[in-house]
């Protein structure tokens, strides 16, 4: 933004400050910018939160007008300003750091000041002429940071969780497509990094899809709880300085403005002090990260080699893997997903500790909680998209290698156990380990079963699902 050098004088509890005339925010936001230069995570990076603030402020103005506390012209100007912000305008003026002291007051005042100054322009006045529309007296009427801020956070987080769900659906589809593509490829399953029993590569990839699909319902369940808001609680949940009907009326308008089925919290004192909802939403996001990391571990193991590892699948080569070893290509995409998961787990711990740090009627640590969760969601969405487009869709199978490992595996003896008995099967396994011969070969050598029956038992379709023992 190009500044003219002209300023306007604004006043707060601490005195007068000159604010550039181009700024829609005012003195309190200016002080917050100066005080909290903490991270590169600014409010304008999270449009869902800004839109949540706009919904809260518009609904409050509508409620205050209906209850006879706000002139119609001021109400209309505030609502129009909020509509513009929700449409994407003026987001670059939401400049406070997401990590801040003051329990979110800086964020709330940033919204109040931007909305007030835009409303003033709509009314025909200059920015800063607050007697006609004041950030506190009008935009923040019947509210406190302690109800407006968490309510806006809840709405913003609800939409962010929705973005994560949509991202998950895409990678689930990608894994499921690979499951179908690899459905015919027999391979060995492994437990504790040891040969177990046969399965198909398709089953393995379908399992990746299924385990992530399980998380969608959990994400949906958790984010529904965010639709309980504490508007009208004001400072501590007692509703001081708000009309007795404000909670009901504001919540009704909030349903309309947001398009979401929001409800008023049953106990506003509890809703104002308790941050358990953020702990739960953080935890379910962490679950997604852990599952993605496990899948990434599996992709790295299955593609290991190419000559001395498992080498059942090929990951798309994305970049040269070594500054000293020519020809080396590393699984860089799964590796970055692993690292995202580590960050998510750490941020989840931050949320846990911050929630525990609540005292008496308020938890002042909400800013770091919401920043941590939003960062986790952002990292995961980016990581999921990277994993899907730069890795999963390009995976190919080494079909012959899968079959070779299967037929040479000691694990085949498990499929034969019902026919040969545990003791004989154990002896076969021991001899295979000692001689290096395959179980298949040893059975024929020792005349334990004819080839026709052995081949029937060892058909892929007979080893990858329950079967009647004949």
Q: Which helix (H) or strand (E) holds 371?
A: helix 366-390
* Residues 35-57: b if buried by 16+ CB within 10 A, e if exposed: ebeeeeeebbbbbbbbbbbbbbb
Q: Which helix (H) or strand (E) holds 198?
A: strand 194-200
60 is catalytic: no
Output the 3-class SS for 64-106.
HHHCCCCCHHHHHHHHHHHHHHHCCCCHHHCCCECCCCCCCHH
Pick from 101, 187, 111: which is nearest to 149 by CA? 111
**Tokens encoding 208:** 């990746």
Pick from 401, 335, 347, 405: which is nearest to 371 by CA? 347
DSSP characters for 152-172? HHHHHHHHHHHHHHHHHHHHH
In sign, the C-alpha dihedral spanning 99, 103, 109, 111 is positive
Computed over its alpha carbons, how large is the radius of gyration of the chain?
Answer: 30
Q: What is the C-alpha to C-alpha distance for residues 149 and 49, in angstroms, rounded to an integer?
A: 9
Q: What is the dihedral of CA 441, 445, 448, 452, to 10 degrees?
A: 60
Catalytic residue among 228, 322, 323, 355: 322
Pick from 107, 138, 93: which is nearest to 120 by CA? 138
16 and 24 Cβ atoms separated by less than 8 Å:
no
Active-site annotation, residues: 322
């Amino acid at each position: 933004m190009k500044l003219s050098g002209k300023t306007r004088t604004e006043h707060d509890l601490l005195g007068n400050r000159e604010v550039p005339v181009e700024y829609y925010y005012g003195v309190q936001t200016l002080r917050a910018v100066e005080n909290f230069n903490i991270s590169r995570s600014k409010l304008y990076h999270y449009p869902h939160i800004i839109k949540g603030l706009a919904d809260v402020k518009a609904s409050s103005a509508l409620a205050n007008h209906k209850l006879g506390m706000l002139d119609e012209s001021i109400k209309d100007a505030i609502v129009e300003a909020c509509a513009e912000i929700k449409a994407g305008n003026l987001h670059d003026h939401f400049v406070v750091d997401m990590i801040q002291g003051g329990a979110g007051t800086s964020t709330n005042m940033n919204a109040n000041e931007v909305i007030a100054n835009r409303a003033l322009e709509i009314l025909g006045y200059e920015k800063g002429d607050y007697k006609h529309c004041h950030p506190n007296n009008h935009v923040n009427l019947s509210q406190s940071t302690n109800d407006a801020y968490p309510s806006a956070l809840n709405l913003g987080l609800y939409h962010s969780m929705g973005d994560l769900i949509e991202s998950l659906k895409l990678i689930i589809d990608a894994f499921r497509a690979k499951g179908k593509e690899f459905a015919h490829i027999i391979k060995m399953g492994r437990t504790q990094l040891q040969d177990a029993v046969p399965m198909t590569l398709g089953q393995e990839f379908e399992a990746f899809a299924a385990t992530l699909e399980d998380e969608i319902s959990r994400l949906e369940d958790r984010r529904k709880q965010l639709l309980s808001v504490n508007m009208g609680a004001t400072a501590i949940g007692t509703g001081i300085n708000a009309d007795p009907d404000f909670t009901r009326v504001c919540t009704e308008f909030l349903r309309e403005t947001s398009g979401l089925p929001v409800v008023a919290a049953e106990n506003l004192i509890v809703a104002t002090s308790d941050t358990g909802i953020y702990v739960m939403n953080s935890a379910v996001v962490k679950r997604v990260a852990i599952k993605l990391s496990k899948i990434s571990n599996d992709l790295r193991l299955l593609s290991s080699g190419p000559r001395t590892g498992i080498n059942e699948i090929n990951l798309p080569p994305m970049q040269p893997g070594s500054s000293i070893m020519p020809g080396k290509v590393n699984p860089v995409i799964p590796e970055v997903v692993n690292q995202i998961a580590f960050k998510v787990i750490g941020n989840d711990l931050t949320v846990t500790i911050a929630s525990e740090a609540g005292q008496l009627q308020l938890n002042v640590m909400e800013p770091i909680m919401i920043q941590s969760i939003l960062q986790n969601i952002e990292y995961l969405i980016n990581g999921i998209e990277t994993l899907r487009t730069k890795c999963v869709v390009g995976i190919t199978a080494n079909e012959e290698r899968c079959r070779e490992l299967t037929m040479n595996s000691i694990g085949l003896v498990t499929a034969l156990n019902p026919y040969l008995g545990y003791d004989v099967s154990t002896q076969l396994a021991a001899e295979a380990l000692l001689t290096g011969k395959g179980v298949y070969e040893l059975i024929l050598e020792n005349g334990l079963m004819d080839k026709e029956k052995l081949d029937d038992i060892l058909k892929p379709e007979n080893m990858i699902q329950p079967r009647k023992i004949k």
